[in-house]
């Protein structure tokens, strides 16, 4: 008869072998997902739905099946996320970064290792807005977001991406670090966007590279960052950056007369218009136009300084036209006086 000690030893050994087999199977599954996802025929997982609020739907890659939306669900590469009214928080598995999709956004989760260079991204933003945060904890990693016009890259940085398909425009608002934006078809001209500034790729004109960064309107910055619950202290810091450093960039007369400059100025100055049917208005960012800069604060008073308000108007030049009869009478008087002085009669 087997002793009690041997029975216990055999039982512990069998459990150890069983646990080891389970760990090997899990490692094998992770190997299948991580190293050879497409060769094995299994669709890889690209993100996790960390949480959501409001109307959020998840579709498969074909957009023919709706998946059950639950917190913590794994999003396969190719899945689509639709946000009606609300938001969806995603964790990007490849880089441990995070993305927040806000209302009226439609986007596809992608595998950044597959496809042509212009399509290699973690997220394809078809329309709407997304806040992206990449902490840079993993070296040589970044988060890439593509739209119909642009490629936006985040490496140890944060930013807010807006894709307006109707306007053929993509905008990037810098929040921290140095995110970049570029024409997704011309990768040699990326533009770095500092915090509290924004740049845009607009294919509605002849310009193919992004516009130089400009300070965004402070109210719009607050609105966007409050939607994604950025700490109020960070929002105030960015607003302070705008108020401290903003200076209006006035074009020269030659530049302002250029038809392209005039057209761009009219586009940027245009107020958002709500189309018929109650469609959401254009939410594109616009530049700061007020700030703390004004002509009154720049003007320095000193000795001999006179403003336009206290400067005395110049005296008007008084010109009186004489009538022909008056001019003839004065000439006759002058001829008579000269005749008396010379002693000889003079005629006009």
Share of the chain above pLDDT 90, in %: 45
For residue 140, the model assigns a pLDDT of 72
Give the whole-angstrom CA distance, residue 3 versus residue 212: 82
User: Beta-carbon neighbour count of residue 214 at 10 Å?
Assistant: 19
pLDDT at 32 over 70: no
For residue 185, the model assigns a pLDDT of 87
Give the whole-angstrom CA distance, residue 272 versus residue 268: 10
Q: Which range scores top for mean pLDDT: 49-63, 134-148, 184-198, 261-275?
A: 49-63
Give the pTM.
0.64
- Which of 38-42, 166-170, 175-179 bottoms out in mean pLDDT, i.e. has the lowest? 38-42
89-146 pLDDT, tens per residue? 999 987 879 999 999 999 999 998 888 888 889 999 999 999 999 987 766 789 999 9
- Consecutive H or E run containing 341: helix 324-342
Q: How confident is the model at residue 212 (pLDDT cuts 50, 70, 90)?
A: very high
Residue 267's SS3 state is helix
Residue 120's SS3 state is coil
Give the whole-angstrom CA distance, residue 196 versus residue 216: 6
For 270, phi and psi rounded to 5 degrees?
Answer: -70, 140
**What average pLDDT does range 230-241 have in this prediction?**
94
Cα atoms in the 13 Å half-sphere on the side-chain side of 10: 6
For residue 348, the model assigns a pLDDT of 60
Give the whole-angstrom CA distance, residue 88 versus residue 129: 11
pLDDT at 62 over 50: yes
For residue 26, the model assigns a pLDDT of 41
pLDDT at 334 over 80: no
Cα atoms in the 13 Å half-sphere on the side-chain side of 207: 15
For residue 47, the model assigns a pLDDT of 95
Residue 200's SS3 state is strand
141-166 pLDDT, tens per residue? 899 999 999 999 999 999 999 998 77
Q: How confident is the model at residue 282 (pLDDT cuts 50, 70, 90)?
A: low
């Amino acid at each position: 008869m087997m002793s009690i000690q041997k029975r216990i030893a055999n039982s512990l050994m069998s459990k150890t072998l069983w646990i080891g087999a389970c760990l090997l199977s899990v490692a094998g599954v992770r190997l299948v997902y991580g190293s050879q996802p497409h060769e094995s025929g299994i669709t890889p997982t690209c993100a996790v739905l960390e949480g959501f609020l409001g109307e959020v739907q998840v579709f498969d890659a074909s957009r023919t099946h709706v998946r059950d939306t639950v917190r913590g669900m794994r999003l396969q590469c190719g899945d689509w996320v639709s946000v009606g009214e609300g938001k969806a928080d995603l964790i990007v598995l490849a880089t441990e970064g995070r993305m927040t999709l806000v209302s009226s956004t439609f986007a596809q989760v992608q595998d950044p290792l597959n496809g042509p260079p212009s399509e290699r991204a973690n997220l394809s933003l078809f329309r709407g807005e997304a806040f992206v945060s990449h902490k840079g904890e993993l070296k040589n990693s970044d988060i890439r977001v593509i739209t119909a016009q642009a490629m936006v890259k985040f490496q140890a940085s944060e930013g807010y991406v807006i894709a307006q398909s109707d306007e053929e425009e993509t905008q990037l608002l810098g929040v921290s670090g140095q995110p970049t934006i570029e024409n997704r078809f011309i990768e040699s001209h990326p533009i770095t966007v500092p915090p509290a500034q924004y740049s845009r790729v607009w294919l509605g004109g002849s310009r193919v590279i992004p516009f130089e960064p400009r300070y965004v309107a402070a109210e719009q910055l607050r609105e966007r960052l409050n939607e994604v619950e950025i700490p109020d202290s960070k929002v105030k810091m960015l607003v302070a950056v705008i108020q401290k450093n903003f200076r209006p960039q006035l074009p020269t007369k030659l530049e302002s007369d250029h038809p392209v400059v005039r057209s761009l100025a009219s586009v940027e100055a245009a107020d958002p218009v709500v189309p018929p049917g109650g469609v959401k208005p254009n939410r594109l960012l616009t530049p700061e136009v007020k700030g703390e800069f004004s002509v009154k604060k720049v003007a320095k008073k000193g000795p001999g300084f006179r403003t336009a308000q206290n400067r005395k108007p110049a005296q008007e030049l008084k010109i009186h036209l004489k009538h022909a009869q008056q001019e003839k009478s004065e000439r006759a008087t002058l001829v008579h006086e000269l005749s008396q002085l010379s002693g000889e009669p003079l005629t006009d």
